[in-house]
Amino acid sequence: MPKLNTCGHPERKHHAKGMCHACYMREYDADPARRERKREYMREYNADPARRERERERNADPARRERKREYYQIKKAAKCKSK
Ligand SMILES: [Zn+2]
């Protein structure tokens, strides 16, 4: 039986902790420690223009995208099995 959303959006796909994706992300971003980490990351990111370029290049690598896709497929399969 699939988990039901208790966030007020039962028609949406369940994402985590009884919430749909939008509500879960809202709660996730509401964590002050996480917001601070994000701010810190953006500060570093914006302080180094070359970094933006490096990350763009890395993410554009098809082999990397393929690895990432495989990783998420394996992760998803493992999650289904454990249920
Ligand atoms: Zn929701």
Instruction: List phi, psi (to 5°) of 34.
Output: -70, -40
Q: Which residues surround ligand 1, an ion (CB under 5 A)?
A: 7, 9, 20, 23
15: helix, coil or strand? strand
pTM given for the model = 0.48
Rounded to the nearest angstrom, the distance between the alpha carbon of 55 and the centre of ligand 1 is 32
Element (H, E) at 48: none
Task: State in Å: Cα 28 to ligand 1 middle.
Answer: 13
Q: Is 42 exposed, middle or buried (0-12, 13-18, 19+ CB in 10 A)?
A: exposed
Helix, coil or strand: residue 70:
helix
Given CA atoms 31, 33, 39, 41 in this order, what sign does their dihedral have?
negative
pLDDT in tens, the chain (83 residues): 567 899 999 999 999 999 999 999 999 888 999 999 989 989 988 898 898 888 888 888 898 889 988 888 888 888 776 54
What is the rounded CA–CA span in Å between residue 13 and residue 67?
26
> Rounded to the nearest whole angstrom, what is the distance from the C-alpha of residue 17 to the centroid of ligand 1?
11
